[in-house]
Amino acid sequence: MIRLLQIDASARPGRSGTDPHGSHTRRLTARFADRWRQHRPGDEITCRDVGLAPPAPVDADWVRAAFTRPEARDDAMRARLAESDRLTAELLAADIVVFGAPMYNFGLPSALKAWIDNIVRVGVTFGFDRARGDTPYWPMLPAGKRAVVLTARGDLGYEPGGIQAHNELVVPGLAAPLRYIGMGAVDVVAIEGDEFGDDRLATSIVAAEAAVDRLVDRLTVGGAAR
């Protein structure tokens, strides 16, 4: 059985094409999950909606608790880390993490950044030992996990080599911390042109949905899903 973790980060509750002012990324994550179920109905899909229920941001109490040895934590520390424990447990259990990650002001939604900050956990998703010298950190995620980033952008030209590529901070904003904890494989599908709302947006949606279908087919039928 393959375990998928679907993380939606859009502040919009609905899906474009179905709900007024709905989210393009929710449209893509729903399509990904539906097509996956068609191929592999027995697999497990866990949904985490950080857009509508954001994790609490990391604060001083969180940092103090996370960097205290587990056996030395008091009840208040354990309570402060309880949400982070749930989020990291979902991540550790997943084989593939599917992100619905819209671009907000060139980067990640704050709710998704809060999720990242909660799952980058010393002793849980990365290790740290000063005795290792200049490389005290190492990833702790089990090998083989991969990420799928389904994003949407208001403007055009954010693809690699595009005129706005240097301003595309969503994919690197996810890929860098995921790579740090041990998830190196990242597939990306994007919708562009939302601000224009014309044929360019419509064409981009059609292309993105086709790309999602091909990606699911490759990850399931093609054998990438183990």
Provide the domain limits for residue 30.
3-220
In the predicted structure, residue 225 carries a pLDDT above the cut 50? no
- Return the pLDDT at 226: 44
Q: 225 in a domain, yes or no? A: no
10 is in an annotated binding site: yes
In a domain, 226, yes or no: no
Give whole-number Cα distances, 23 to 31, 149, 177, in Å.
Answer: 13, 15, 25
pLDDT at 222: 57
The 10s digit of each residue's pLDDT in 159-218 is: 999 999 999 999 999 999 999 999 989 999 999 999 898 999 999 999 999 999 999 999
Tell whether 158 is in a known binding site.
no
Query: What does the DSSP assignment read for 163-226?
Result: TTGGG--HHHHHHHHHHHHT--EEEEEEE--TTT-SHHHHHHHHHHHHHHHHHHHHHHTTS---
106-132 pLDDT tens trace: 999 999 999 999 999 999 999 998 999
Average pLDDT over residues 4-14: 97
Query: 105: annotated binding-site residue?
Result: yes
Q: Given this model, what pLDDT does residue 197 score?
A: 85
- The model's pLDDT over 48-72, given as tens digits with 9 standing for 90+, comes to 999 999 999 999 999 999 999 999 9
Q: Is residue 76 predicted with pLDDT exceeding 90?
A: yes
**28 within domain boundaries:** yes
Tell me, what CATH number does 116's domain have?
3.40.50.360
For residue 178, the model assigns a pLDDT of: 97
Confidence of residue 221 (pLDDT cuts 50, 70, 90): confident
**Residue 78 within any structural domain of the chain:** yes
> Domains in the chain: how many in total?
1
For residue 198, which phi and psi values (nearest 5 degrees)?
-115, -155
Is 1 marked as a binding-site residue?
no
Stated pTM of the model = 0.94
Does residue 37 fall inside a structural domain?
A: yes
Residue 131 lies in a domain: yes
Check the annotation: does 103 bind a ligand: yes
Mean pLDDT of the chain: 95
